[in-house]
Amino acid sequence: MALPNGELQKALTRFKDLPTLPDVVARVMQIVSNPLTTAEDLNQVISLDQALTFKVLRLANSAYYGFPKEITHITQAVMILGFNTIRNLALSVSVHKMLFADRDKGLFNYRDFWKHCVAVGVCARILSRRIGYKNEENAFTAGLLHDIGKSLLERMDHAGFMGAIEASQQRQIPLWQAEQELLGVDHAAVGGRLAEIWNLPSDLRGAIELQHRPGEDGVPDPLVAAVHAANQLCRELGLGTDGDFGPTLIDPAVEKLLRLDAAARTEIAAEMDLRLKEAEEFLKFSRGA
Ligand SMILES: [Fe+2]
């Protein structure tokens, strides 16, 4: 399923001018990875960017986190939500701004695409809970970002990417397969490369890169499994669109790990309904709010 390494590297050189992470977010990533960091350190960096501060506080106060008391200050948000959540929020805000802002591109509508990404985030979070994966927030962020490679391909080779979507539609094949055939690289590889350049934590990068081949090394990694299954479940449920017209198959090893029988799927669909409403604030990004 994966391209041979040499070929992939060659194809990736076509996409070498990848966007850089805004300074403030790069600093946030760096600070959070330092064990000596304090909430005040993080506050000092985030506060330099007013728009980011505003959006992080709004998300921290959203129904998704469900805190009864209003959070009015970044330091307070860090203490209540934790470093990783603040890092993920900063990342979500800037990634949306850079790569998902409203653009209607025919077969690929960014608003519906963002809806797909938020739904996959919400679903990955639900699934991670089912398998006792500790960092639920990471699962949400991994789901939210799993398709960043598609935005990159669309922006860097619009005609080629649209051709891949058409091929996926006409031949009912997975989009990644059409991308490999037509562009020599797929969105998982490009997204993984971006995650590497941005120094995203390795588990997030792995979830992006391995989303279509979760069971490759035997037992699937829980985060990869959650993102892989969430992607397919959200496609099955028709939540948003992702330009992929291939079958919605879940890897058997993942199905087993997550115990995804018919009863579980019904349960998950019902919970999705509820949790997507809580994630409304994330969806609002796409309305320019
Ligand atoms: Fe997806």
* Cβ proximity of 253 and 215 under 8 Å: yes
Distance 189 CA to ligand 1 centre (A): 13
Q: pLDDT (tens digit, 9 = 90+) per residue, 237-272?
A: 999 999 999 999 999 999 999 999 999 999 999 999
Distance 47 CA to ligand 1 centre (A): 33
**What pLDDT score does 173 carry?**
97
**What pLDDT score does 108 carry?**
84
Quickly state the pLDDT bin for 221 (edges 50, 70, 90): very high
Residues linked to residue 108 through DSSP beta bridges, in sequence order:
105
pTM: 0.91
238: its two tokens: 């028709």
- CB neighbour list of residue 289: distance below 8 Å, 6 or more residues apart: none
Distance 37 CA to ligand 1 centre (A): 34
Distance 231 CA to ligand 1 centre (A): 5
Q: Which of 221, 188, 224, 226 lies closest to 207, judged by CA?
A: 224
**What pLDDT score does 76 carry?**
94
Distance 233 CA to ligand 1 centre (A): 10
Per the document, the length of the chain is 289
Q: Where are the beta strands (DSSP E) in the chain?
A: 104-105, 108-109
Distance 185 CA to ligand 1 centre (A): 16
Distance 147 CA to ligand 1 centre (A): 5
Answer with the residue of higher pLDDT: 233 or 6.
Answer: 233
Distance 246 CA to ligand 1 centre (A): 12
Distance 129 CA to ligand 1 centre (A): 20
Distance 242 CA to ligand 1 centre (A): 6
**What pLDDT score does 120 carry?**
97
Distance 117 CA to ligand 1 centre (A): 7
Distance 34 CA to ligand 1 centre (A): 31
Q: pLDDT (tens digit, 9 = 90+) per residue, 48-107?
A: 999 889 988 998 999 999 889 999 999 999 999 899 999 999 999 888 888 887 677 777
Instruction: State percent of the chain over pLDDT 90.
Output: 68
Distance 265 CA to ligand 1 centre (A): 18
